[in-house]
């Protein structure tokens, strides 16, 4: 069974009871997800909880390209890091509320994505991945050399958390978590709307059969470019919140390794499933935080081993495998009920 067949199964409309069950399942998942997001800082150190949600949006934004358009980007650190720097600079020099600074960083990431995407989307496969990686390293080099603005190897320090006259740096981390959470949830909702819209269906058709999509009259490069820019904007939204959360922007946010980490999160959870990005980010951030707090220095070794095991044992990722098996089970149940009814 192809990925597209599984994706389309719940919304074919040929089995109204199945469609109703699918809608109930979505609402239950949404309720569970929102509840988990609201109670997360009560069980996890709030800054770490904020990192989980920010990285979840980062993985979801990447999955718009990887899972729904079929484009593997190794350059998304350019948008994550550049938005973090711009957000930090706006918050530092203009003293605006941090949501305004975050939006400014996201807009800058989208502007940056236009020329980079225009030159990248004309390639596909490994060539697209290498072109995006090359552009990201160019942005990293600019950030390294422009030390008067970015701080160079020392990073951008002292990023404030002003929230309409309230200095959240001086208050408990819980306040910042709940002040920033709506921004990230709004980004996730935007990603959901993108992939469940007619535009998202076109992206999936491009992923599954590019020549056919082009033959049907779709301007493939145009759709890829729009998806690239939207993905960059959501990435910038997450990167801006990440910068405000830490009060510091390191040069590593622009490094290619950051792009590799988010690809790992997306694949770990399961590409082509927005919930997979959330699960992958949660596991990756929690594992890294646990290993770091325990004094273990081989974090990359452990995360790499986990990634290899997941790829070998769960071909569709953790969430993707569970979702696929559930859908197959529902389709078999529907197929078995059909002859009985007749």
What separation in angstroms does the CA of 150 have from each of 146, 162, 248, 255, 256?
6, 20, 11, 14, 18
CA distance 294 to 177: 25
Domain hosting 29: range is 3-335
Query: Of 232, 230, 236, whose CA–CA distance to 102 is shortest?
Result: 236
User: In angstroms, rounded to a whole number, what is the distance separating the alpha carbons of residues 281 and 264?
Assistant: 9
pLDDT of residue 106: 96
- Distance separating alpha carbons of residues 211 and 193, to the nearest angstrom: 26
Phi-psi region of 30 (alpha: psi -120 to 50; beta: other; left: phi over 0): alpha
Helix intervals (H) in the chain: 3-8, 16-43, 46-66, 77-94, 98-120, 125-145, 147-150, 173-195, 198-208, 210-215, 220-246, 256-269, 274-293, 299-313, 318-341
**CATH number for 82:** 1.10.3470
- Would 174 be classed as within a structural domain? yes
Q: How many CB atoms lie within 10 A of CB 15?
A: 18
Residue 200 domain flag: yes
| pLDDT for position 15 | 55
Residue 82 covered by a domain: yes
Tokens representing 161 are 């958390």
Residue 340 forms part of a structural domain: no
Position 145 in a domain = yes
Identify any residues that bridge with 167 across adjacent strands, giving them in sequence order: 162
Q: Give residues with Cβ within 8 angstroms of 205, minimum separation 6.
A: 212, 213, 216, 218
The Cα–Cα gap between 69 and 45 comes to 35
In a domain, 12, yes or no: yes
Tell me if 92 is assigned to some domain.
Answer: yes
342 in any annotated domain: no
What residues contact residue 85 under an 8 Å CB cut-off, 6+ apart? 105, 143, 149, 150, 156, 243, 249, 253, 254
Cα–Cα distance, 260 to 268 (Å, whole number): 12
CB atoms within 10 A of CB 219: 12
Each of the 342 residues of the chain gets a pLDDT tens digit; together they read 344 443 444 444 445 555 566 677 778 888 888 999 999 999 998 999 999 999 999 999 999 999 999 999 999 999 999 999 999 999 998 888 999 999 999 999 999 999 999 999 988 888 999 999 999 999 999 999 988 888 888 889 888 887 776 666 655 678 889 999 999 999 999 999 999 999 999 999 999 999 999 998 999 999 999 999 999 999 999 999 999 999 899 999 999 889 989 999 999 888 888 888 999 999 999 988 888 888 777 777 877 787 788 778 887 888 888 887 877 777 777 777 665 555
What the block records as the tokens of 210 is 């590019």
- Output the pLDDT for position 7: 42
Tell me how many domains the chain contains: 1
Cα–Cα distances in angstroms (integers) from residue 173 to residues 56, 62, 289, in the given order: 19, 28, 17
């Amino acid at each position: 069974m192809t990925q597209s067949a599984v994706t389309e199964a719940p919304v074919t409309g040929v089995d109204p009871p199945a469609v109703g069950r699918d809608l109930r399942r979505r609402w239950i998942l949404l309720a569970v997800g929102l509840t988990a997001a609201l109670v997360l800082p009560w069980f996890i150190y709030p800054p770490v909880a904020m990192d989980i949600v920010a990285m979840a949006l980062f993985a979801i934004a990447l999955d718009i390209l990887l899972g729904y358009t079929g484009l593997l980007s190794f350059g998304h650190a350019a948008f994550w890091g550049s938005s973090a720097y711009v957000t930090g600079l706006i918050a530092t020099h203009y003293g605006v509320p941090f949501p305004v600074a975050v939006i400014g960083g996201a807009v800058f990431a989208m502007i940056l994505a236009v020329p980079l995407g225009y030159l990248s989307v004309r390639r596909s496969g490994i060539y697209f991945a290498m072109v995006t990686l090359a552009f990201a390293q160019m942005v990293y080099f600019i950030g390294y050399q422009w030390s008067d603005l970015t701080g160079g190897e020392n990073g951008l320090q002292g990023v404030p958390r002003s929230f309409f006259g309230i200095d959240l740096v001086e208050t408990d981390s819980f306040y910042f978590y709940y002040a920033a959470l709506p921004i990230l949830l709004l980004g996730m909702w935007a990603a959901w709307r993108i992939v469940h819209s007619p535009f998202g269906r076109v992206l999936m058709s491009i992923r599954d059969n590019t020549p056919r999509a082009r033959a049907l009259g779709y301007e493939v490069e145009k759709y890829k470019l729009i998806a690239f820019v939207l993905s960059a904007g959501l990435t910038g939204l997450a990167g801006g919140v990440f910068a405000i959360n830490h009060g510091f922007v390191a040069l590593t946010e622009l490094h290619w390794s950051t792009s590799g980490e988010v690809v790992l999160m997306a694949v770990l959870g399961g590409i082509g499933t927005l919930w997979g990005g959330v699960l992958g980010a949660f596991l990756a951030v929690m594992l890294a935080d646990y290993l770091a707090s325990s004094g273990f220095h081989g974090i990359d070794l452990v995360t790499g081993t986990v990634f290899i095991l997941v790829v070998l044992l769960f071909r569709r990722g953790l969430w993707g495998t569970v979702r696929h098996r559930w859908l197959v089970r529902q389709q078999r149940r529907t197929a078995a009920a059909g002859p009985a009814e007749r």
